[in-house]
Structure 1
């Protein structure tokens, strides 16, 4: 037996910090994406003071998020996951739809999720439009992007308050910087089913976004399309993005079922 193998056998996961963190994070699953403190104690097998201390530290570093009395995995884990080969169910489900949307429109297509009070790009399909530089795992403000408005419109009041408290930074003369205007815009997003931004992040470009939903109908991401304003037909773009988001949602939910999980 090798020395490395002997070390592996001797390690008690409950007696090391890394082992305890692994037990705690492994308590979450697709069937149990949010857990209370008592549920984490029961599912991890760790003592309550230890779980509470680790949760506090993990929230600080972005590995966990707290919503009321419940905890869920944080976006920081996803950002780290960007560095591995597995692209994940969400991107695998959305990519064919994004390819088709880009082919039909010639625009730039993004798949985004929320990271704190920012938009995090998790996939990008580039078209002919010369859009501002973006990259996978890159970030943008939520208040002035179509994707961000979708995620905000379907987010919690606490999230909206956090964005407002952080200030609505102006990127162009068209950026929304007044809280009441943003609140009105988010209501319009919920009513219309999609969001748009006209030159709020860069002159000469318009974006339209729609929500991608999980099997439980919760919004898990935003699908967006960016094109030059000179050839922007917003109603037509909105219809295309809504169709694409609906298809991506169906593919994502179906992929989760085939993998034996609930998205």
Structure 2
């Protein structure tokens, strides 16, 4: 078998950065992998140009870039996940006479993979194949909030920031994690409101988001909103278990709230 050391070492660096979950310095990468420091710098430069790593000059470290995340997330586009997820967004959308979407992150944007319009629901621009700024949509925010901070910052830096500073955007992401869902009103599409939750893969990273969108003028109460969020969360949890093999006790703060009956829906998930 022909061996290509540079390719192998580049993959080792990607595996290291993805496994530790925090940015690392070149010297730390050298120490962990035993690759000569000069080779590490050369590889990091090439990987940065290709978008697979992102330098953080103020910290003199490197984290995963957008290209690495997009590659890892490609599995989300495969048919089983969309097929299984479709029933959850369909059923939930009909609760509010709205539309249901499945979306994934592609660089600084969300790509809508699936769209369902319940009978009588108005047409929105969130059709399958549409791309919108991730930071301005509930789908994108749900996914970004479940990313490691360095990757979330990459998306924020490259894309539209929705008029928020990085500090304010961090605060918004923290609120989403605490609530267990993302919400936006009249931001991505005027006249529409969206609720969204992420689906986690076997590495407990966000694969896609399940979203329901409906008219802002449809003034739903807290009880109806809670019902929509609960349905989406249950769907996301089941998809994580069936597609990615997460156990009933596993998951991020999003999934943990659903599975353990915590957070804003405490005591209402297990009738």
* TM-score normalized with structure 2 length: 0.62
Corresponding position of 2:230: 239
Inter-partner Cα distance in structure 1 for 2:66 and 2:72:
10
Residue 111 to residue 28, structure 1, CA distance change in 2 (3 Å) = farther
Gaps of 5+ in 1: 1-8, 15-19, 170-175, 257-263
Q: Is the partner of 1:33 in helix, strand or coil?
A: helix
For residue 198 of structure 1, report the CA deviation from its aligned partner. Answer: 1.1
Q: Is the partner of 2:245 in helix, strand or coil?
A: helix
Corresponding position of 1:33: 18
- Report if the CA contact (8 A) 1:194-1:209 is conserved: yes
Among residues 125, 128, 131, which one is paired with 2:124 in the alignment? 131
Residue 41 to residue 217, structure 1, CA distance change in 2 (3 Å) = closer
- Report if the CA contact (8 A) 1:97-1:244 is conserved: no
| Matched residues, number | 224
For residue 102 of structure 1, report the CA deviation from its aligned partner. Answer: 3.5
Q: Is the partner of 1:62 in helix, strand or coil?
A: coil
Inter-partner Cα distance in structure 1 for 2:173 and 2:11:
35
Among residues 46, 53, 68, which one is paired with 1:57 in the alignment? 46
Residue 210 to residue 251, structure 1, CA distance change in 2 (3 Å) = same
Inter-partner Cα distance in structure 1 for 2:12 and 2:100:
38
Residue 78 to residue 159, structure 1, CA distance change in 2 (3 Å) = closer
Q: Is the partner of 1:212 in helix, strand or coil?
A: strand
Inter-partner Cα distance in structure 2 for 1:251 and 1:78:
22
Corresponding position of 2:266: none
Corresponding position of 1:260: none
Q: Is the partner of 2:209 in helix, strand or coil?
A: strand
1:78-227 to 2 correspondence within 5 Å?
Answer: 88=75, 91-92=78-79, 94-104=81-91, 105-106=93-94, 107-113=99-105, 115=107, 118-121=108-111, 123-128=113-118, 129-133=122-126, 135-136=128-129, 139-158=131-150, 177-179=163-165, 182=169, 184-227=171-214
For residue 151 of structure 1, report the CA deviation from its aligned partner. Answer: 3.1
For residue 195 of structure 1, report the CA deviation from its aligned partner. Answer: 0.7
Moved more, 181-190 or 29-38: 29-38
In the alignment, does 2:239 pair up with 1:248? yes
Corresponding position of 1:259: none
For residue 189 of structure 1, report the CA deviation from its aligned partner. Answer: 1.3
Residue 60 to residue 34, structure 1, CA distance change in 2 (3 Å) = farther
For residue 197 of structure 1, report the CA deviation from its aligned partner. Answer: 0.8
Inter-partner Cα distance in structure 2 for 1:91 and 1:182:
30
- Report if the CA contact (8 A) 1:89-1:252 is conserved: no
Corresponding position of 1:17: none
Corresponding position of 1:173: none
Q: Is the partner of 1:34 in helix, strand or coil?
A: helix
Q: Is the partner of 2:42 in helix, strand or coil?
A: helix
For residue 223 of structure 1, report the CA deviation from its aligned partner. Answer: 2.6
Residue 222 to residue 156, structure 1, CA distance change in 2 (3 Å) = same
Q: Is the partner of 2:105 in helix, strand or coil?
A: strand
